Structure 1
């Protein structure tokens, strides 16, 4: 006690026992203008919590409704099981549905005959397109043979005789007309301009070459047309089949039977598959024949240019000068030998 009272007396002597009025008054806070702001922030902080509580209440209410519905269904099933008359009626109603569910679904065609029957009316245009593609392919394979368009034995003998000077315009023209190949016909157009300027001979060969080019490209567009139209016919058949399938299912009220829907869609897609089976080979053969014709035309153009150099006025003049130079050189050698 003495030490404690002595410490207090020392604090009083040093002036440390003075306590502010605000502390002696029980820490009563002063009036401030910031108190309304604290109330507003408190209200704002409560809003998210209130929204969360409301959402939880809604979720709980929904769960309770679902539980009540499941209980009601369970009670209904128990009552139906207890009531024999109700169960008998339910079984009687369930028998037709099971019998209907056991009916065989629409079978997807597997054999060629079933596939043809599944195509319906679209089998006629697709069949016509397939026949055209097959016919044009076989015909062009025969016509575009290189040995038929540019027979090498004829071309080799013809140019050998032309360079040796064994053929005159009439004889050479007759040989080309008798041969009848596309390259001989092109040669014949140029031979009719024998001895004319090279421009006229080239123009005649160009005219004949254009006719032969059109003949070589004949019927190839049929393949391109079939490759374009066949998938469209197949797509049209698929759309028509889908419409018919959905109408049938709607009439039977069998939307729950997925096997009927799958079988109907599979049957409808047969036309698209058939169209693609026709279009893909047709497009491949079209590209093959187009490239073959281009290569043949390039080779024919080179041979025709060689003919122009032989029968044009400029070419004949060059040949005469070459012959004169050869004869003069031979004469000079003969004159030098006696000396």
Structure 2
């Protein structure tokens, strides 16, 4: 028994050691429980500081409102207008700056020559009706010779009078020569009537190209802003380049469309005037060519030699005798 107790005492240890081990295990358990509590417990204090009490949308952004009963942040202030597309002339000029100069020059050139052609191509100026009707009537009546007809054409400064003058210089020649002279004079007058129409057509062609150039420059500026400021997804950072691209395109089309319409209208007016001049010139050829002069002389001779006396029927004077 004595040996057994000694062995048991050696295995179990002294009471002081057992007490120390018990205390250590208790401390370890206490530390583990505290660590678990600290780990599992949510940290609400930072979240409460980050979360706003009241959140409202102002200009498309969520804004914390510390005083819900007070005014909203930014209330009463004008929204930022720097990112919208300009519409008024002043805003367009401020946005485009020196890019607007070519469009102003093109519009001035187009308007100048359109107004000039509208004045030049008036029907009363190109083909004065009173002159044409009077001139052809005098020729039909035989009251004009080559010299007086040419003088009358020189006194009337109109394109149709210049065409008539080219034909009168071939007075009495065959109709082919007279007609060829009129065609030559008509071609010169046609070139004068179509003068500056090519400039209007050129403006109508170049203006959209200038707008396209402005569009390309605007897109280059927009992508340059993306590369420099990492503005991907921020429309306000790209608004400057996009606004330049859209405005230049709109200005180019706004100048080109009216210019093209007026060019087509003026070209049609020239064609109508040329057709009317050609009809009057054909009448002139029939009157002053060798064939026309011979025909008119023959008609006048026949009318002048026609008998003017009338034959009277004589009654029969036969009498019957009974």
TM-score over 0.5 for the pair: yes
Aligned mate of 1:334, from 309, 313, 318: 309
Number of residues of Structure 1 aligned to a counterpart in Structure 2: 249
Please tell me whether the aligned partners of residues 106 and 264 of structure 1 are also in contact (alpha carbons under 8 angstroms). Answer: no
Structure 2: stretches of 5+ with no match in the other structure: 1-38, 52-61, 64-73, 315-322
For the pair 1:210 / 2:187, whether they are aligned, the reply is yes
Report deviation, 1:129.
Answer: 0.8
Distance of 2:299 and 2:91 partners within structure 1: 77
Q: Structure 1 residues 337 and 154, CA, compared in 2 at 3 Å: closer, same or farther?
A: farther
- CA RMSD, aligned part only? 2.8
Distance of 1:335 and 1:195 partners within structure 2: 38
Report deviation, 1:326.
Answer: 1.0
Please tell me whether the aligned partners of residues 133 and 223 of structure 1 are also in contact (alpha carbons under 8 angstroms). Answer: yes
Task: Describe the superposition over 1:285-323 as per-residue Cα deviations: whole angstroms up to 9, x where unpaired.
Answer: 000001000000000000000000000000001011111
Report deviation, 1:82.
Answer: 5.2
Aligned mate of 1:116, from 80, 93, 100: 93
Report deviation, 1:277.
Answer: 0.5
Distance of 1:146 and 1:198 partners within structure 2: 28
Please tell me whether the aligned partners of residues 222 and 239 of structure 2 are also in contact (alpha carbons under 8 angstroms). Answer: no
Identify the structure with the greater helix proportion. 1
Aligned mate of 1:163, from 117, 133, 140: 140
The corresponding residue for 2:110 is 133
Task: Describe the superposition over 1:144-190 as per-residue Cα deviations: whole angstroms up to 9, x where unpaired.
Answer: 00000000111111111111111111111011111010000000000
Q: Structure 1 residues 257 and 192, CA, compared in 2 at 3 Å: closer, same or farther?
A: same
Distance of 1:157 and 1:231 partners within structure 2: 49
Distance of 1:338 and 1:171 partners within structure 2: 49
Report deviation, 1:261.
Answer: 2.6
The corresponding residue for 2:160 is 183
Please tell me whether the aligned partners of residues 109 and 267 of structure 1 are also in contact (alpha carbons under 8 angstroms). Answer: no
Distance of 1:306 and 1:122 partners within structure 2: 56
The corresponding residue for 2:59 is none
Secondary structure of 1:167's counterpart equals: coil
For the pair 1:146 / 2:139, whether they are aligned, the reply is no
Report deviation, 1:118.
Answer: 2.2
Q: What pairs up with 1:44-59 in 2 under 5 angstroms?
A: none
Please tell me whether the aligned partners of residues 218 and 243 of structure 2 are also in contact (alpha carbons under 8 angstroms). Answer: no
Distance of 1:338 and 1:324 partners within structure 2: 29
Secondary structure of 1:334's counterpart equals: coil
Task: Describe the superposition over 1:114-145 as per-residue Cα deviations: whole angstroms up to 9, x where unpaired.
Answer: 21232233322211110011001110110000
Distance of 2:166 and 2:108 partners within structure 1: 37
Distance of 1:148 and 1:337 partners within structure 2: 58
Residues 279-288 or 116-125, more deviating: 116-125
Please tell me whether the aligned partners of residues 115 and 270 of structure 1 are also in contact (alpha carbons under 8 angstroms). Answer: yes
Structure 1: stretches of 5+ with no match in the other structure: 1-74, 89-97
Distance of 1:109 and 1:140 partners within structure 2: 34
For the pair 1:296 / 2:273, whether they are aligned, the reply is yes
Task: With the length of structure 1 as denominator, give the TM-score of the two structures.
Answer: 0.68
Task: With the length of structure 2 as denominator, give the TM-score of the two structures.
Answer: 0.71
Distance of 2:310 and 2:290 partners within structure 1: 33
Please tell me whether the aligned partners of residues 177 and 184 of structure 1 are also in contact (alpha carbons under 8 angstroms). Answer: yes
Please tell me whether the aligned partners of residues 220 and 241 of structure 2 are also in contact (alpha carbons under 8 angstroms). Answer: no
Q: What pairs up with 1:229-240 in 2 under 5 angstroms?
A: 229-240=206-217
The corresponding residue for 2:259 is 282
Secondary structure of 2:171's counterpart equals: coil
Report deviation, 1:108.
Answer: 2.5
Task: Describe the superposition over 1:26-84 as per-residue Cα deviations: whole angstroms up to 9, x where unpaired.
Answer: xxxxxxxxxxxxxxxxxxxxxxxxxxxxxxxxxxxxxxxxxxxxxxxxx9xx77x6558
Distance of 1:337 and 1:292 partners within structure 2: 62
Distance of 1:243 and 1:211 partners within structure 2: 49
The corresponding residue for 1:22 is none
The corresponding residue for 2:231 is 254
